[in-house]
Amino acid sequence: MAQLDEAPSVAEEVQGAVSTTTTADYLRVSIARIRGGETGVLPVIAGLLLVSILFQSLNGNFLSAGNLVNLLVQAAVFSILAMGQVFALLLGEIDLSIGFVAGLSAVIMAERVEPSVGWPWWLAILAALAVCAVIGALQGSLITRLGLPSFVVTLAGLLFWQGVMLVILGSGGSILIQDQTINDISSGNLSRAAGWIVMLVIVAVFAVYTWRGDARRREAGLTAPPAVLTLAKILLSLAGGVALVLICNANRGILRPVYGVPWVVLLVFAVLAVWTFVLSRTRFGRYIYAIGGNAEAARRAGISLARIRTLAFVLTSFTAGVAGVVYASRLRSISTAIDGGTLVLYAVAAAVIGGTSLFGGRGQAMHGVLGGIVIAAIDNGMGLLGFSAASKYMVTAAVLIVAVTIDAVARRNRPALR
Amino acid sequence: MTAVRPPPPDKDRCGTWKREDTTDQVSPSAEGSAASAAVKDASEPLLRLRGISKSFGPVRAITDVDLDVPAGEVTALAGDNGAGKSVLIKCIAGIHAPTSGEMWWEGERVHIHSPRDAAALGIETVYQDLALCDNLDIVENMFLGRERTHRISLDEDSMEHSALDTLKSLAVTTVRSIRQPVASLSGGQRQSVAIAKAVLWNSKLVIMDEPTAALGVAQTEMVLELVRRLADRGVAVLIVSHNMNDVFQVADRIAVLHLGKLAAIRPTSELDRQIVVDLMTTGTSTRIAQPRPDRE
C-alpha cells in the first residue's frame, strides 16, 4: 500500500521516541498501568502464593512434590472448564450448562468405549466432543438468533443435559472405563526424559517466537518491551518449565515408584496454548473482545455478532467436553454422582478469581487455568488439614469474594468505568 | 479515486491542493476510475441524493431530500432536534434503507443496503457515540472489522505501522502510546481516533455526527482542525452539528433541514448565523428571497 511506503520516515521519528524508552521507563509505564486497574494476573498469582504459604505452614506436605502434582491433576478439570467459561464471560454472557455438558461428554465417551460397543478411544472422544460442539451450537443459536438470555438458555441446558446424561447412564447409574489410553490421560505420566524434551521444545518454541517478534517490532519502531524484559520473560518461562519438570520427575509413589509429567498437565497446556492463540492472535478472538467491550461498535464495524457469539458458545461447550473426558479419566468411571451444578459454579469462580470480568471484554484463557489452580489448592490444602467439605465451600466462597473485590477496587482507579 | 479527480475549479477556502496527499491515495482501482474520469466532469459531486425519503411506519422522517456532497469540501448538515439529520446520514451510511429516492456515487446510481456497502464505496461514518471498544487499544479499534491477517494470525506489525502513519498524517500526536486502551484517552483523543479510523481506509466521504458535542474548547479546536485537514486532503466531509460556531468555522457549505425537508443549501459565505437559525426553526428566512438550488 502507498501508506507503507511512507513507513520508514514515520518509524524513524518514532524510534527517536522509543530509543529513550529504557527498561526503567517501560517498567514505570507497566506499574502505572497496574495502578490504573489493569492488574492482569498479578492478584491471582499473589493469591496463589499466599494460599501456598498458608497451607505449607499448617501442613508440611502441601508443597511436597507428590502433593503438588496431585494438585495440578485435580486442577485440570476446573482449569479446562474455566477456560471454556472464559469465552462466554468475555462476551458478557454466561454458560451454566457446561458442568453437565462435561458430564454428558464423559458419559458418551465411556459408553462408546465399553467392550460391548468397542469403539477405539480416539473415536469415542471425538464423538463426545462433537456432541458437545453441537450442544454449544444449539444453545448459542437459541441465544443469538432468538435473542434469549444466555442465563436462561444455559440454565435450561443444565437441567436438560443432566436429564439426557441420566437416561444414557440408565438404571446402572455408572459406567466403568476399561480403556487404558483414556485412563492414562489423567493417571499416565511421561517418562522422565520425555518430560525434559517436551518442556525444552515448548520453551524453545516460545523463546524463538517471542524473541523474534519483539526484536522485529523494536527494529520497526513499534511498541515493544526492551530486550532485557524479553529475555527476562524467556528465562522466567524456562525457570518455570524446569521447576515443573523437576517436581513432576521426583518420585511421588508410596508403594511403587511414580514419576514423570502427567499427560493431563500437557493437555491443559495444549488447550491453554490453542485458546490463547485463538483469543489474542486471530480475528475471531479480536471480535470476541470487541463484542464484549462494545457490541454496538462491533456491529457497526461489520462484525457478524450472531456468528461470533454462536461460535463462542460452541467453543465453550467443546472445551467443557474436553474437561468431561479428563474428569472421567481421573475417576476411571462416570456415574450419576457427577455434580455438574457445582462444577460449573467452580468454573465461573475460577475464571473470575483468575481475573476475567463478568461484564465482558476482559479475560484470558490463562485466567481460567490460574483460577482453577487456586480452587484446587484450597480444596487440596483444606483436605490435607482435615477440614470438611462444608468448610471448603465456605473458604472457596470467601476467596471468590476477595477476588471480585480486588477487581472492583482496581477498577475504581480506571479512567473509564464500564 | 480522489487522485485522478481534477481539482475543483473554484475552491474558495482550501485552494491549496496538496499533491503529496493525493498521491497517498492512489490505489489499484485507480485505472478503473481513470476510464470513467471522462464521465464525471468537475461539477459532478461525489455523492448526489435525489428525492430521498424515509418513513418509519406512518412517520415520515425525511421527505424528498436533494443533496450534493462534493469532494474536498466540508458540508454541514444543520437542523433542530427531530429534523431528520440522523436519519439522513444513516441512509447514506447504509444503516437505514431509504423508502424512496436515488443515490448517485461518482456519477453512478448506487444502492446502499448495509454499512459494508457504504464502506465498499468509501463512505465512513463517525458516530456521536464514536463506536469505539474501550477494552481494545487504538490500533485494534482502528482496524476493527478489517484486520490484516497473515494466514490465520493477525498481522499486528503492519496494522500498527499503518495506524501510526495515519495518526501522523492527521497530526494526531497527543496520544502517549498507540497501544493503550481507548478507555484511557480523553474525549478529544477518542474523537481523533474515531476520525483516524474513518480516514485509514482511504475513504472518500467521511460522515460525522456531532463530532464536537462532548468536547471542551481546546479539544473542539483540535477536532475542527482535523476536519479541515481531511477536506484539504480531498475527502468529502459531511458533518452534523448543532453548534453554529463550529459550523461556521469549518464548513464550506451548509445544508439546513427543517421537519424532514431540506430548507436550504448554500455556501457558508452566503449565510450568517441568523439566517441558519431562521431556517432551522421555521424552514424559511425573511432574509432570503428564495432558496436557490445549490450548484457549484
Domains of chain B: 42-131+203-282 (3.40.50.300)
Q: Please enumerate in sequence order all residues whose Cβ is within 8 A of that of B152, keeping only pairs 6 or more positions apart, or say none.
A: A282
Edge-to-edge strand order for the sheet containing B47-56? B59-69, B47-56, B100-105, B108-110
CA distance to partner chain A, nearest, from residue B81 (Å): 23
Mutation for A interface: B114, B116, B134, most A CBs within 10 A: B134
Mean predicted confidence (pLDDT) in A15-27 = 56
| Beta partners for residue B266, in sequence order | B254
Q: Which three cell numbers stand for residue A126?
A: 471425538
Nearest to B149 among A216, A283, A416 (CB): A283
* Residue A36 touches chain B, beta carbons under 8 Å: yes
Contact B144 A298 (CB under 8 A): yes
Q: A69-106 b/e with 16+ CB inside 10 Å = b?
A: bebbbbbbbbbbbbbbbbbbbbbbbbbbbbbbbbbbbb
Q: Which three cell numbers stand for residue A309?
A: 457469539
Nearest to A222 among B25, B115, B161 (CB): B161
Nearest to B135 among A6, A283, A292 (CB): A292
Report the pLDDT value the prediction gives residue B214, as an integer from 0 to 100: 75
* Residue B272 touches chain A, beta carbons under 8 Å: no
Which of A77-86, A352-361, B278-287 shows the lowest mean pLDDT across its residues?
A: B278-287
End-to-end CA distance of chain A: 37
Quote the CA–CA distance of B228 and B220 in Å, as a whole number: 12
- Residues from chain B that touch A220, judged by Cβ atoms under 8 A, are 157, 161
Structural contact between residues B230 and B73, judged by C-beta atoms closer than 8 angstroms = no
Give the residue among B295, B296, B261, B267 at the shortest CA–CA distance from B280.
B261
Q: Rounding to the nearest 10 degrees, give the CA dihedral for residues B184, B187, B190, B196.
A: -150
Mean predicted confidence (pLDDT) in A344-355 = 92
Report the pLDDT value the prediction gives residue A393, as an integer from 0 to 100: 87
Mutation for B interface: A35, A212, A223, A413, most B CBs within 10 A: A223
Report the pLDDT value the prediction gives residue A101, as an integer from 0 to 100: 96
Quote the CA–CA distance of A226 and B209 in Å, as a whole number: 41
The H-or-E segment that residue A333 falls in is strand A333-335
SS (H, E, C) chain B: CCCCCCCCCCCCCCCCCCHHHHHHCCCCCHHHHHHHHHCCCCCCCCEEEEEEEEEECCEEEEEEEEEEECCCCEEEEEECCCCCHHHHHHHHHCCCCCCEEEEEECCEEECCCCHHHHHHHCEEEECCCCCCCCCCEHHHHHCCCCCCEECCEECHHHHHHHHHHHHHHCCCCCCCCCCCEHHHCCHHHHHHHHHHHHHCCCCCEEEEECCCCCCCHHHHHHHHHHHHHHHHCCCEEEEECCCHHHHHHHCCEEEEEECCEEEEEEEHHHCCHHHHHHHHHHCCCCCCCCCCCCCC
pLDDT over 90 at A199, yes or no: yes
Mean predicted confidence (pLDDT) in A362-388 = 92
Report the pLDDT value the prediction gives residue B277, as an integer from 0 to 100: 85
- Residues from chain A that touch B132, judged by Cβ atoms under 8 A, are 294, 297
Sign of torsion over alpha carbons B92, B94, B97, B103: positive
Report the pLDDT value the prediction gives residue A254, as an integer from 0 to 100: 82
Structural contact between residues B90 and B126, judged by C-beta atoms closer than 8 angstroms = no
Nearest to B147 among A286, A294, A415 (CB): A286
Q: Residue A13 — pLDDT band, cuts 50, 70, 90?
A: very low
| Beta partners for residue B208, in sequence order | B126, B239
Which is higher by pLDDT, A317 or A171? A317
Contact A293 B135 (CB under 8 A): yes
Contact A298 B119 (CB under 8 A): no
Q: Residue A112 — pLDDT band, cuts 50, 70, 90?
A: very high
Secondary structure of residue A43 in the 3-state scheme: helix
CA distance readout (Å), A43 to A38, A221, A280, B48: 11, 32, 21, 57
Q: Are strands B59-69 and B74-79 parallel, antiparallel or unpaired?
A: unpaired
pLDDT over 70 at A326, yes or no: yes
- State which residues of chain B have pLDDT below 50: 1-40, 289-296
Residues in chain A: 418
Report the pLDDT value the prediction gives residue B30, as an integer from 0 to 100: 39
* Residue A180 touches chain B, beta carbons under 8 Å: no
- Residues from chain A that touch B161, judged by Cβ atoms under 8 A, are 3-4, 7, 10-11, 220, 222
* Side chain identity, residue A140: G
* Residue B179 touches chain A, beta carbons under 8 Å: yes
Which is higher by pLDDT, A93 or A416? A93
Structural contact between residues A107 and A169, judged by C-beta atoms closer than 8 angstroms = yes
Output DSSP code: residue A250.
Answer: S
pLDDT over 90 at A320, yes or no: yes
Query: How many other C-beta atoms lie within 10 A of the C-beta of residue A191?
Result: 12
* Residue A18 touches chain B, beta carbons under 8 Å: no
Which phi and psi angles does A64 have, rounded to 5°?
Answer: -70, 150
* Residue B174 touches chain A, beta carbons under 8 Å: no
Q: Residue A36 — pLDDT band, cuts 50, 70, 90?
A: low
Sign of torsion over alpha carbons A217, A218, A221, A224: positive
* Residue B151 touches chain A, beta carbons under 8 Å: no
Report the pLDDT value the prediction gives residue A176, as an integer from 0 to 100: 92
Structural contact between residues B111 and B94, judged by C-beta atoms closer than 8 angstroms = no
Q: Residue A19 — pLDDT band, cuts 50, 70, 90?
A: very low
Secondary structure of residue A189 in the 3-state scheme: strand
Report the pLDDT value the prediction gives residue A21, as an integer from 0 to 100: 56
Which phi and psi angles does B104 have, rounded to 5°?
Answer: -120, 130
Mean predicted confidence (pLDDT) in A292-314 = 92
The most confident of A206-220, A276-290, B75-89, B163-177, by mean pLDDT: A276-290
Query: How many other C-beta atoms lie within 10 A of the C-beta of residue A413?
Result: 12
Nearest to B164 among A14, A29, A298 (CB): A14
Give the residue among B25, B10, B70, B54 at the shortest CA–CA distance from B238.
B70
Q: Which three cell numbers stand for residue A34?
A: 497496574
Report the pLDDT value the prediction gives residue B288, as an integer from 0 to 100: 56
Quote the CA–CA distance of B262 and B67 in Å, as a whole number: 8
Nearest to A10 among B26, B27, B165 (CB): B165
pTM of the model: 0.83
Nearest to A3 among B24, B145, B181 (CB): B24
Q: Which three cell numbers stand for residue A172?
A: 446402572
Give the residue among A232, A133, A244 at the shortest CA–CA distance from A189.
A244
Where in chain A are the domains?
A: 39-188+262-412
- Residues from chain A that touch B133, judged by Cβ atoms under 8 A, are 289-290, 293-294, 297-298, 361
Sign of torsion over alpha carbons B190, B191, B194, B196: negative
Structural contact between residues B252 and B74, judged by C-beta atoms closer than 8 angstroms = yes
Which is higher by pLDDT, A196 or B286? A196
- Residues from chain A that touch B27, judged by Cβ atoms under 8 A, are 1-2
Compare all CA atoms of chain B with the CA of A290 and give the residue at the minimum distance. B133
pLDDT over 80 at A31, yes or no: no
pLDDT over 90 at A307, yes or no: yes
Which is higher by pLDDT, A151 or B285? A151
CA atoms within 13 A on the CB side of B33: 20
Which is higher by pLDDT, A65 or A10? A65
Mutation for B interface: A286, A288, A296, A303, most B CBs within 10 A: A286
Is CATH 3.30.1490 the right assignment for the domain spanning A39-188+262-412? no
Q: Which three cell numbers stand for residue B15?
A: 485552494
Which of A46-50, A77-81, A166-170, B215-219 shows the lowest mean pLDDT across its residues?
A: B215-219
Q: Which residues 116-175 on chain A approach chain B with CB closer than 8 angstroms?
A: none
- Residues from chain A that touch B140, judged by Cβ atoms under 8 A, are 286, 289-290
- Residues from chain B that touch A222, judged by Cβ atoms under 8 A, are 157, 160-161, 164
